[in-house]
Amino acid sequence: MSRLSFSPTEGRDLLFAWLALGVAFALFFEGGGQSVVDDLSSGNVGPLVTAFVVSLVTAGVGFLLHELAHKVVAVRFGQQAAFRADYGMLFLAVVSAMAGFLFAAPGAVHHRGRITPREHGLIALAGPAVNVVLGALFLPVLIVSTGMGLPTLSRVGSYGVAVNFFLAAFNLIPFGPLDGATVRKWSTPIWLVCFLVSAALAVFLGLGAL
């Protein structure tokens, strides 16, 4: 079995992706370019700073742990695996957030070595599975903080639930480079169950959290 390790380049890519996603989601959470410009021009940076911290803890962590789950499972199966940030797509994420919408594809884990279809499917499934777990962990944060009247912590719970359940469902769509295509190629029944569960969580809990 390969040993889990991180090169300086990979560490830099992970850090940069996390910070760039924090900026992109903060801009998106605050309503895009004009709202941000108005806040900055008036010197009201508090909401943007809060949104940045919230996005680092929710969306940033959700994206990065998704990718790291791919790596951990790949290494478990004897693969050589590393995360590589896509700097062009990270720039696009920030620009699109300024425009009021968001398209985020921070990079991917690349792995190589001999592998079975089952192992390949499990590597792909690991990312969405981590997002489901994270969404479930943020749910009690949302419930307790809302009940106690803690708006900032409630916001963390709300975005943590919504972003992670939507990430899981979106990545399990069986299309192109998304994880769902790999999982379905390995096992259609397993893909179908996982996709339906994640979609239900996204609709009933993710939308409800916003």
Band (104; pLDDT cuts 50, 70, 90): confident
**Dihedral (Cα; 90, 166, 57, 50), 10-degree rounding:** 80
Band the pLDDT of 49: cuts 50, 70, 90: confident
Does 1 score more than 60 pLDDT?
A: no
Measured distance CA(58)–CA(159) in Å, rounded: 6
Q: Which of 10, 30, 67, 119 is catalytic?
A: 67
pLDDT for residue 2: 61
pLDDT class for 33, splitting at 50, 70, 90?
low
The one-letter amino acid at 152: T
Residue 67 annotated as catalytic: yes
Start-to-end CA span in the chain (Å): 42
pTM score, whole prediction? 0.91
Domain ranges (residues) in the chain: 1-113, 116-210
Among candidates 114, 120, 110, which has minimal Cα distance to 183?
120
What's the pLDDT at 36? 66
